[in-house]
Structure 1
Amino acid sequence: MSTTQLIRTDEEATQIARKLAASYALHAGDRDRERRLPEAELAELSASGLLGITVPAAFGGAEVSVATLAEVFRTLATADASLAQIPHSHVVFLEALRLQGTESQQRRYFDAALAGQRFANAQAERGGRTAADDATTLRPRAGGGYVLHGEKFYCTGALFADWLVVRAVLSGAGPAVDAPPSTPGAPTSKVLAYLPRNTPGVTVHDDWDGMGQRTTASGTVLLEQVLVEETQVVPYTSIFERATTYGARAQVLHAALDAGIARGALDAAIVQVARARPWWESGVARASEEPLLVQQAGELEILVRGAEALVREAALAIDAAEANLTEDSAARASVATAIAKVATARAAVEASSALFDIGGTRSASDSLNLSRYWRDARTHTLHDPARWKVQHVGRWLLDGTLPPRHGQL
């Protein structure tokens, strides 16, 4: 019998996230330093019910708003950005099921999520000309079903997952890219295969060696002649044939993670200020009274709070778009999300670096491991380039150019 809690409201979801974050924060620095993988913490996450909060109400879930979902991720990332990133793909692929799955597929996998089972990604590859190219193939086999073959990297959470969701190209369609079907020459051949983690032919390697996000276990997944049933396959490319918030949903959660890192770094800086000595030229009794330090702290709070506000604004724009989905509402949601993503990336990197300016020399002690905030920020913000988001925002602002439809916008 499952011991997983069933969350029924948005308020309950945010309350549980706060409790988990408080628990996760206690040993986050030690986990990062020792690269101690968070198996016990993920078991808590599964039992908490948070993995089922996006399941549609018709299937027994809370179907929380995107605003609530983003706040849950931001809250968890304030405590431990690695732990918070692990369920990112989980909720993204539940959204793919909501958009593209059959009723029986939805019932099967939504029930699994409500039971606390974890879904992880096997999407990215390192061998293509660009990050959008996939070589992993799904080939039809005699008698029905498919054979899956390929290699994936940056597979966050795969080591801890109950299910792996593999993005692949259907055999015979040629190399596919994440582009809308309206793009000249763009094939429409990508699919998602939902596989039990222990499927024969699936091997997960714990070879992630990033300087930050150290305990996400974002390593390699090898797929060697894996048998896949037709009931395990969900269309992917066709998500982008019409107006959609799929990419914005995924990206606003990345923005929430960065906002959480920024807030966590600033919170840590304030703790260090209380322990720091004032600079002798200031003539004040406490570091927190130094006028220049006060100025910098105020500037950082404005930066971080602004980033948090932009995440909320973007999440509300997505909620509004989904209530009345049109080309215009989807574009506005994508633009708002792109703005939030750029702002939170800047805030995360700046706040996690300024932590040491405010905290002083003692804050650089390796025993405190405060460098994890900067390492996490610098690593996570590389997920997809902010420079392209700025371009899309500028084109929309100046000429009304609709942003492209893909999973990173």
Structure 2
Amino acid sequence: MSAHVIADDAEALAVAASLAAEFRPGASARDAARRLPRAELDRMSASGLLAVTVPADHGGADVGARTLAEIFRLLATADASLAQIPQSHFAYVNVIRRQGTPEQREFFFAELLAGRRFGNAQSEAGTRHVQDIRTRLEPRPDGSYVLTGVKHYSTGALFAHWIPVLARTGDDRLHVAYVPSGAPGLTVVDDWDGLGQRTTASGTVRLDGVPVPADRVLPHHLTFEGPQLHGALAQLLHAAIDTGIAAGALAEAAEFVRTKSRPWFESGVETAAEDPLLIQRFGELALCTKAAEALLREAARSVDAARADLRDDTAAEASVAVAAAKVQAARAAVEVSSALFEVSGTRSAADSLNLHRHWRDARTHTLHDPARWKIQHIGRFVLNGTRPPRHGLL
């Protein structure tokens, strides 16, 4: 497999914009038929977009957080499922940057530059909470390991060349095992039936005695023993997806009103686009979306600043900024995708138009982690100076 190597931030943004324009026309049909986007993901791999965070000394563009967030926002304006699939990919590239040995970094960065994709196998069902990871990584006499467990919500695993698996060793410490697709004992089940993000194939991964060489295991628990941006970066990309959903829904609502809606008879105007009450509502929805975009940019700037000077204080500021962006982005995505019908009228509710995919995507993706806890951490930081916890979800 080979892929183009992107040179810098400017090229990365240009490639993302081009891919978004390419993916947009087929997004509704893919969602309606639940046609999995293998060809589109191959295009994304070949474009080099999935390797843009590879460090410069390994041949990558090493783009900043602001560029990466904008890449995800652009993709999500076109297709929220396609934007969601590589979110964990970049989170686990970040684990290699932070915890990989020189040999591991050399191997995996070369894989990324060649267009290889990471999936994820992290969440589990039926446990006490999201941090209760019961998948086990058992050592063998030769120094290798065996993986046993069941994972759910494994976005991207079905399309991945490598599946990073969160697991605990006997001492309960958290590790990431990078498992190649097709490994013995590994089964990826396409059983995702979410109402939104229908083509992410976020199904089940079963691990039945999967052998893992020692050099494919990274000590993820060390990530959280000092100031870190693992959670902030991962959440920034979620915020970018929600912001993109809002912008995509707003653009489609405006196009529908301009081309298909009739004015309300009491308005006294010739077209729906001239209706003063609709104009007012579009102004409100634009403000909501622009606020999300502004907070996303500010959060990305904070992550970049913290990356350049990583301390407890800068990491905390970045996490709080990302939390604020995520809360506003979630609100914007749900409000705008719902208001699409309010401003477009009865005709927009036709199932055949599939305009509800925006709301379904927003409603599904914003359930990823609760905004109410992000607001709590923002309040604690602002009022009492309490730094957010280091748990990877903030």
TM-score by length of 2: 0.99
Q: How far apart are 1:127 and its partner, in Å?
A: 1.9
Q: How far apart are 1:163 and its partner, in Å?
A: 0.3
Q: Which amino acid aligns with 2:380?
A: R
1:120-269 correspondence runs (5 A): 120-171=119-170, 173-174=171-172, 189-269=173-253
Once residues 368 and 205 of structure 1 are traced to their aligned partners in structure 2, the CA distance between those partners, rounded to angstroms, is 30
Once residues 275 and 137 of structure 2 are traced to their aligned partners in structure 1, the CA distance between those partners, rounded to angstroms, is 63
Q: Which amino acid aligns with 2:377?
A: H
Corresponding residue SS for 1:154: coil
1:260-409 correspondence runs (5 A): 260-274=244-258, 275-409=260-394
Q: Which amino acid aligns with 1:252?
A: L
Q: Deviations over 1:163-201 (max 9, x none)?
A: 000000002x25xxxxxxxxxxxxxx0000001011100
Tell me, yes or no, if the aligned pair for 1:272 and 1:358 is still in contact at 8 Å. no
Instruction: Show structure 1 runs of 5+ residues with no match.
Output: 175-188
Q: Which amino acid aligns with 2:249?
A: A
Corresponding residue SS for 2:338: helix
> 4+ residue runs of structure 1 moved beyond 2 angstroms?
none
Once residues 62 and 351 of structure 1 are traced to their aligned partners in structure 2, the CA distance between those partners, rounded to angstroms, is 34
Once residues 2 and 184 of structure 2 are traced to their aligned partners in structure 1, the CA distance between those partners, rounded to angstroms, is 28
Once residues 54 and 90 of structure 1 are traced to their aligned partners in structure 2, the CA distance between those partners, rounded to angstroms, is 11
Calculate percent identity across the aligned residue pairs. 58
Once residues 146 and 245 of structure 1 are traced to their aligned partners in structure 2, the CA distance between those partners, rounded to angstroms, is 28
Once residues 208 and 327 of structure 1 are traced to their aligned partners in structure 2, the CA distance between those partners, rounded to angstroms, is 38
| Structure 1 stretch displaced more, 275-284 or 358-367 | 358-367
Give the length in aligned residue pairs. 393
In the alignment, which residue of structure 1 is the partner of 2:41? 42
Q: Which amino acid aligns with 1:288?
A: A
In the alignment, which residue of structure 2 is the partner of 1:67? 66
Q: Which amino acid aligns with 1:205?
A: V
Q: Deviations over 1:124-157 (max 9, x none)?
A: 0002111110110001112221111000000001
Corresponding residue SS for 1:268: helix
Q: Which amino acid aligns with 2:303?
A: I
Q: Which amino acid aligns with 2:362?
A: A
Instruction: Show structure 2 runs of 5+ residues with no match.
Output: none
In the alignment, which residue of structure 2 is the partner of 1:186? none
Q: How far apart are 1:371 and its partner, in Å?
A: 0.3
Q: Deviations over 1:348-395 (max 9, x none)?
A: 000000001111111111121010000000000000000000000000
Corresponding residue SS for 1:119: coil
Corresponding residue SS for 1:223: strand
Corresponding residue SS for 1:199: coil
Tell me, yes or no, if the aligned pair for 1:191 and 1:234 is still in contact at 8 Å. yes
Tell me, yes or no, if the aligned pair for 1:78 and 1:262 is still in contact at 8 Å. yes
Q: Which amino acid aligns with 1:389?
A: K
Tell me, yes or no, if the aligned pair for 1:311 and 1:340 is still in contact at 8 Å. yes
Once residues 3 and 243 of structure 1 are traced to their aligned partners in structure 2, the CA distance between those partners, rounded to angstroms, is 36
Once residues 14 and 197 of structure 1 are traced to their aligned partners in structure 2, the CA distance between those partners, rounded to angstroms, is 30
Q: How far apart are 1:111 and its partner, in Å?
A: 0.6
Once residues 63 and 15 of structure 1 are traced to their aligned partners in structure 2, the CA distance between those partners, rounded to angstroms, is 16
Corresponding residue SS for 2:331: helix
1:96-135 correspondence runs (5 A): 96-135=95-134
Corresponding residue SS for 1:204: strand
Q: Deviations over 1:257-306 (max 9, x none)?
A: 00000000000000111120000011111111111111100000000011
TM-score by length of 1: 0.95
Once residues 361 and 3 of structure 1 are traced to their aligned partners in structure 2, the CA distance between those partners, rounded to angstroms, is 48
Q: Which amino acid aligns with 1:298?
A: G
Once residues 369 and 379 of structure 1 are traced to their aligned partners in structure 2, the CA distance between those partners, rounded to angstroms, is 16
Corresponding residue SS for 2:137: strand
Once residues 127 and 106 of structure 1 are traced to their aligned partners in structure 2, the CA distance between those partners, rounded to angstroms, is 34
Once residues 336 and 322 of structure 1 are traced to their aligned partners in structure 2, the CA distance between those partners, rounded to angstroms, is 14
In the alignment, which residue of structure 2 is the partner of 1:32? 31
In the alignment, which residue of structure 2 is the partner of 1:180? none
Once residues 283 and 160 of structure 1 are traced to their aligned partners in structure 2, the CA distance between those partners, rounded to angstroms, is 53
Q: Which amino acid aligns with 1:13?
A: A
Corresponding residue SS for 1:24: helix
Corresponding residue SS for 2:390: coil
1:13-32 correspondence runs (5 A): 13-32=12-31
Cα root mean square deviation, aligned: 0.7
